[in-house]
Chains A and B, each alone.
Chain A
């Protein structure tokens, strides 16, 4: 299922991290900002992969956890907590809510589960819009970070990078561990997995918590950087949808897929923004349609197929064959 990584692959991982650590030295602050967004979406997509990809439960709760983390960080920092305490606590709050929510809704499967998770995110947004402690619909300000532009840009970037590295290492650990195999077993056939001794409920709840903790921490970084959060902004269902689209684009259930998906989609998004003032959303839609038609199982699946069929020359044929799926 998940082949042991070769020495080269480990090398690539550490090299990748080294490059990411070095990025602020090689680009300007706007470049660093863009990389921070890419890292944020990588975190969201990789985290969704725990529950949506490995376990096969289509969760729309990413936005719920992101918002929880953002608000926890905001509230704690307004009560004097330093960022490096508030942000991880946001992760803890996210995971705790996932635990409680998971007990309630992980009995549901398929569409029902998807709707319940979507409802949870909307419910939390409504709560944030009406509670006093969250500043209701007015939103909530956070303390401003002090220092030079270089300093705070890098501060936010490295905070996001730390969460991203933590996420990657957790993904690696889970796929090496009994947990990962259990989750895949649940995805393939939950009843059969149960027969084999996989305690499905427990496994699913752990997967759901893992899909919550890192987005919540990313939400915390986001909030400190934005210095102002509103319910509609951080509980935006688009965070959930983009995480899913990115994971699909890269390849569901793979380790590298969500990373690639987040990378390409953010890069494309950024390019379209700055070059097409009025039509960027249309272009983005077009790209997504093309991706769905030509690589319905994601970039990683395409890469594997190309490798199997003997290199780049087979690419055209594979893309064409993919479109045939739509013939009834």
Chain B
């Protein structure tokens, strides 16, 4: 081959073109009696921890489903097969791989990537190819505002958070009256912080400060110093676990001491309490799921069941990322059984009208495809443990207020 190349450099381009074109067409093998699920996950890059949890969640569901012979599709048991790709925590790669999952691997159902931004990107692809997509970890309403018919999200909408939070804090004595808001300039943290800020006005709080810090900031002291001088009763910080560990640590060092510190969405991870130790105590946050919730349903059983399996397999405390991922599988599982078919349009219809209980909580999708059956719980870290404060029917602790 090289001799021909030597004779004619441009000809060099052609040989590989032909070879590749032939290779491309050669590989399309389709196994029967199998339902194919595809997931592009952030298995490397900054979101790798989350991506791994998602994969672990899907696998727990897949193993349970297959150990019972598979999913019952109109009387015929079909096994579950998963195809995974790594999108390196970059959404453009996620969309590219979603296309590959659909066109090459011919998956029947897509299970979403991590977070709102990537989900919104991949949802556009699923909609174009008319493939059902279940998103485990996208809760921002803006993800579901395009009128897409193929997208369903497991997490309760962010909008559920303010009512729970403010119902809790407005009953406190002495009543807090002022709030400061700081957020990472990123899809989810910004959406949720701004939503809380808007709601705070309705509940009569004075808004003393609002700031955004750039993604991957290595120093939070600039805005923390301002917060200290404004002395709000409540400080809310939006960001991811790395940001929030840093912010909590620096707040302590700088003596920033509001009556309540509310952070989304880092404290829900065990990693947060582990990294901060006692500094994590009395920080408030919210969660879509915890193993302590009194939830129960088909396929996986109770929330505690799921947490046990997770602990045995991975030797860590299960959190909502893994649980929501397994629950995505459960939702698809129940919908396919209900539809008696894996045809996309029938599965879509079945998911849309699904109303059921699961280990992840009640599931019921609104028009945009968000799960409005579920709740968001408010918790506080006490002695490095997450104690649920709200809603009262699943709470197991009392709020420490004001923070000592």
Contacts and interface: CB of A to CB of B under 8 A. Distances in A.
- Answer whether A and B are interacting partners: yes
Interface of A: 8-9, 12-13, 15-16, 19-20, 23, 26-31, 33-34, 37, 129-130, 137-139, 141, 144-145, 149, 152-153, 222, 226-228, 230, 232-234, 236, 238, 256, 259-260, 263-264, 267, 273-274, 277-278, 280-281, 300, 303, 306-307, 311-312, 315
Given A12-B10, A138-B142, A273-B97, A145 B128 contact: yes
Interface in B1-55: 2-3, 5-6, 8-14, 16-18, 20-21, 24-25, 28, 43-44
Contact of B21 (A23, A29, A259): A23
- Size bracket, chain B contacts: 35 or more
A68 B225 CA distance: 36
Contact of A28 (B11, B103, B117, B127): B103
Residue of A226, A236, A267 with most chain B CB atoms under a 10 A cut-off: A226
B229 interface: no
Nearest to B48: A278
A274 B88 contact: no
Contact of B16 (A130, A267, A300): A267
Contacts of B191: 138
Contacts of A153: 103
Given A23-B21, A233-B91, A277-B86, A311 B3 contact: yes
Given A12-B8, A233-B90, A260 B25 contact: no
A243 to B, nearest CB: 15
Given A27-B25, A274-B85, 11 more contacts: A9-B9, A27-B21, A28-B103, A31-B21, A149-B129, A234-B92, A256-B10, A259-B13, A273-B85, A277-B86, A300-B9
B121 interface: yes
30 contacts: A9-B9, A16-B10, A16-B17, A23-B21, A27-B25, A30-B99, A33-B99, A34-B24, A37-B96, A138-B190, A138-B191, A141-B146, A144-B128, A149-B103, A222-B92, A228-B95, A228-B121, A230-B117, A232-B91, A232-B215, A233-B91, A236-B92, A260-B12, A260-B13, A263-B13, A267-B20, A277-B84, A278-B44, A278-B86, A311-B2
B81 to A, nearest CB: 15
B126 to A, nearest CB: 11
Nearest to A226: B95
Given A137-B187, A138-B187, A233-B91, A29 B18 contact: no
A264 B104 CA distance: 21
B308 interface: no
B103 A29 contact: yes
Contacts of A152: 128
Contact of A230 (B8, B10, B121): B121
B214 to A, nearest CB: 8
Interface string B92-109: 100111011001100000
Nearest to B184: A137
A26 B95 CA distance: 24
Contacts of B120: 139, 141, 228
B43 A16 contact: no
B86 to A, nearest CB: 6
Contacts of A227: 124-125, 127-128
Nearest to A37: B96
Contacts of B95: 226, 228
A12 B24 contact: no
Contact of A306 (B6, B90, B121, B186): B6
B100 to A, nearest CB: 6
B177 interface: no
Contacts, number: 145
Contacts of B127: 144, 227
B382 interface: no
A19 B128 CA distance: 28
B185 interface: yes
B14 A9 contact: no
Contact of A141 (B13, B90, B100, B124): B124
Given A26-B21, A30-B24, A30-B99, A263 B124 contact: no
Interface of B: 2-3, 5-6, 8-14, 16-18, 20-21, 24-25, 28, 43-44, 84-86, 88, 90-92, 95-97, 99-100, 103-104, 117, 120-121, 123-125, 127-129, 142, 146, 185-187, 190-191, 215
Nearest to B128: A144
A141 B96 CA distance: 17
Contacts of A13: 10
A77 B10 CA distance: 38
Nearest to A282: B44
B363 to A, nearest CB: 26
Contacts of A31: 21, 24-25
Contacts of B21: 19, 23, 26-27, 31
Given A30-B24, A33-B99, A139-B187, A312 B2 contact: yes
A169 B18 CA distance: 23
Contacts of A30: 24, 99-100, 103-104
Contacts of B25: 26-28, 31
Of A12, A129, A137, A222, most B-chain CB atoms within 10 Å: A137
B13 A33 contact: no
Nearest to A280: B86
Contacts of B215: 232
Contact of B88 (A23, A226, A281, A307): A281
B124 A226 contact: yes
A144 B123 CA distance: 11
A233 to B, nearest CB: 5
A145 B142 CA distance: 21
Nearest to B55: A277
A306 B1 CA distance: 12
B3 A312 contact: yes
B43 A129 contact: no
Contact of A278 (B43, B99, B121, B129): B43
A230 B91 CA distance: 9
Nearest to B28: A28
Contact of A307 (B6, B14, B185): B6
Given A138-B187, A144-B124, A227-B128, A281 B44 contact: yes
B96 A8 contact: no
